[in-house]
Structures are given as structure tokens and as C-alpha cells.
Amino acid sequence: MLEVEGLKKTYKTTKAVDGVQLYLNKGESVGLLGPNGAGKSTTISMMSTLITPTSGDVRYNKKSVLKHPDIIRPVLGVVPQEIALYEELTAYENMRFFGKIYGLSGRKLENKVDEVLELVGLSDRKKERIKRYSGGMKRRINIAVALMHEPEVLIMDEPTVGIDPQSRSYILDMVRKLNREKGMTVLYTSHYMEEVERLCDRVYIMDHGHIIASGTKDELKSILSGEETVFVEVQQMSLKLVEQLVAHEAIQKVTEVEKGYKVIATKGEDLLADIFKLASTIDVKITGIHVQTPTLEDVFLHLTGRKLRD
């Protein structure tokens, strides 16, 4: 349905996007995961015909949208990372304005405004100006505006940045509903791995302008099939314990987390026993320990050596 081929964008000497390849099938929910500055927003801007790529192409149903932007614009809904709304206008006025820009009018426009406001749960606050909204409410209207023309493809650029958990959960449920119940094709960009894990069928992992891995969630996690993640909770943090753990032949990486350490190690039978033994030799009391199945965050860490939010 939508294909991106060798997309590149260079600003003077900086390569913001370097040969990105990706595709979206109809009705799919695809995640584009990567840290800040990975090139996700630039990729989205090129896909939505907002900026011209240095090279490469974007095709919608086999036709180049770079040459013919008008073929994608009517079927594309874009939710920008920023709150792209008129703060002085009410939610209702913003939605009516963009609805009219999309060519809606009369009763159809009014019905659509009501329907979308219902969907984002803001019907009772529609007469308030956007500037008086909370961050979460602004995010929801930001999404609502992109849904006014019932797009086939919805591209969302970090739609939950800086909002409370309740609003985030509401938005994620809404996106899942749009994808599952309305068959909307979704490209969901985020640096929150748990969001992408929750929403998406397939995932592209992006870093420094490149796609560094792609596949279904299970395919990506299988990269880490030979490894396991162990969380070690300690009474008191100890640099010496870290040194001991890093020196262990099965342990690949030790990172500090709240109240303890996250240990990535090659799967082995005696690892937990070894960790307890190491701790007791230096008088560090372990208050808890659990083994976690790999996450996309772990995959990213494995591939780049960095956390997603670094």
C-alpha cells in the first residue's frame, strides 16, 4: 500500500535520514521505534510530502507520491509531534476549521465533529479554548483533527510525548480501536518501546538515520533468544558488585536501575546461583531477583549499545 524506497535527507553535511526502506500493508499497525534524533520525524515529513527528500521515493499503491502529492494527501492523516492547533480557538472551532479544509461542510461536518470528539472523549469540553486544555487533552484534539476526513493511513509522530499515564492509555486504546475496528493503517512512531509493543504488529527500529532492524515483535525479540535479562535488587548499591558481575564470563552488560542492576547474560543454568554467590562474597544483600523475557528495549540496547531514551 505504502512503500518507502531508499529515502535520504541531507542537511548540508548532516545525514538526517540515510536510505530508509519500509512498507505498510493495508490495515497494518507498524511501529517506527528509535531514540530522539534517529530521523523518525524527518522520515514521516518526507512520507507526508511535507519536505522533499534528497533522494529515494515514496509510493502509494505503486505511484510516486513525491511526483504526485495529491494522490496521498486525501487519504493521509498526520498527527504531528507538536500540538499543531490554534490555541486561541476552541476544540470545536479547530475541528470545524480543519474539517472544512478537508472539504466537509454542513450536516456532514457537524456529524463528523461530534463523532470524532466522542472518539477522543472530549465532547463535553469542546467549547473550551485549546490553550486552557491539559497536555493530554491537547494531544487528543491533535489526533482528532487528523481523523476528520477518515484517512486510510494514519501517521502518528510521538503522539503521547509529555502526557499523563491516563491520557496515554486513552490514546493507545483509541489508536488500537482505529486500527482493529476501522481498519485504519497506522504508522506509529515513538521512543516508548512499551507503546510500540502494545500497538504494533511489525516494528522498524531506527537509529542515526538508518533502519537497523525490522520484523514482527517476536522476530525482533528472537535476536535476543540466547540471552536473558535479570533484575537484581540490592539493599545497597555497590560498585564492587558491578565489577564482579561484569567480570563474569556469561554476563554481557550490567546497567544501573532503580534499587539495583539490570544484567544481560547468556542463558545458562547457574547464573542466578553465581550472582548470589558473588554478592555474598562482598557482603551485599540481595533483596529481590527476577528474570525477564526480552523486550524491544533490550533489542535496541543490544543493537546500539544505548537505551532508547538516552
Partner 1 sequence: MWNMLKKDFLTISRDRSEVLVLLVMPFVLIAILGFALGGINQENQGIAEIPIALVMSQDFDQELQDFEQRLEDEGFPREMINQVIESAEAIDPAIMLKNLLLAPELEGAIATETGYQSTEAQQALEDDQIAAIITIPEQFSYQTLIAIYLDEEPNASIEVKVQDYEQIRSDVIESVVTNFVDQYNFETSIALATEGEAVETALNNEAFGETTYLSTRDPVSAFQYYTIGMAVMFALYVAATVSSNAFKEKETHVFARLMVTGEKPIRYLISKAVAATVLTALQLAILFILSGLLFQTFANQDLSFWLGVSVITLSFAVTVGSVATLLTAIALQFNNDAISAAFSGGIVTIFAFLGGSFTPVEQISPVIRMLGNWTPNGAVMTAYLQTIQGLSFGAVMPMIYRVLVMSIVLISVAVFIFPKRRLA
Of how many residues is the chain composed?
A: 310
Span of 75-83, 217-225, 265-273, 291-299 interacting with partner 1 by CB under 8 A = 75-83
Which residue lies nearer to partner 1 by CB, 72 or 203?
Answer: 72
If one asks whether residue 69 binds partner 1 (CB under 8 A), the answer comes out as yes
Which residue lies nearer to partner 1 by CB, 16 or 254?
Answer: 16
Which residue lies nearer to partner 1 by CB, 50 or 237?
Answer: 50
Contact 22, 211 (CB under 8 A): yes
Q: What residue type is 164 in one-letter code?
A: D
CB 223, min distance to partner 1, A: 35
If one asks whether residue 233 binds partner 1 (CB under 8 A), the answer comes out as no
Cell 529515502 belongs to residue: 7
Span of 43-51, 201-209, 230-238, 273-281 interacting with partner 1 by CB under 8 A = 43-51
Sheet holding 63-64, edge to edge: 14-24, 2-11, 55-60, 63-64
**Residue list 138-177, contact with partner 1 (CB under 8 A):** 145, 149
Q: What residue type is 5 in one-letter code?
A: E
CB 267, min distance to partner 1, A: 46
- CA nearest to 30, candidates 142, 114, 140, 156: 156
Span of 100-108, 132-140, 187-195, 211-219 interacting with partner 1 by CB under 8 A = 100-108
CB 217, min distance to partner 1, A: 29
Beta-strand (E) ranges in the chain?
Answer: 2-11, 14-24, 29-33, 55-60, 63-64, 76-79, 153-157, 185-190, 202-207, 210-216, 227-234, 251-257, 260-266, 286-292
Rounded to whole angstroms, the Cα distance separating 72 from 99 reads 17
Residues that contact partner 1, how many (by CB under 8 A): 30
Q: Are strands 227-234 and 63-64 parallel, antiparallel or unpaired?
A: unpaired
Which residue lies nearer to partner 1 by CB, 133 or 300?
Answer: 133
CB 56, min distance to partner 1, A: 15
CB 287, min distance to partner 1, A: 47
Span of 20-28, 80-88, 190-198, 298-306 interacting with partner 1 by CB under 8 A = 80-88
Cell 558491578 belongs to residue: 242
Binding mask 239-278 for partner 1 (x = CB under 8 A): ----------------------------------------
Q: Which of 101, 246, 257, 291 binds partner 1 (CB under 8 A)?
A: 101
Name the H helices within 200-310. 217-221, 239-247, 271-281, 296-304
Which residue lies nearer to partner 1 by CB, 102 or 192?
Answer: 102
Using CA atoms, how far residue 121 sits from 47, 140, 144, in Å, is 29, 8, 10
190: burial class by Cβ within 10 Å (0-12, 13-18, 19+)? buried
If one asks whether residue 89 binds partner 1 (CB under 8 A), the answer comes out as yes
CB 68, min distance to partner 1, A: 12
Contact 265, 227 (CB under 8 A): yes
Q: Which of 63, 88, 182, 290 binds partner 1 (CB under 8 A)?
A: 88
Using CA atoms, how far residue 61 sits from 24, 75, 245, 285, in Å, is 11, 12, 53, 60
Q: Contact positions toward partner 1, by CB under 8 A?
A: 45, 48-52, 69-70, 73-74, 76, 78, 80, 82-89, 93, 97-98, 100-102, 129, 145, 149
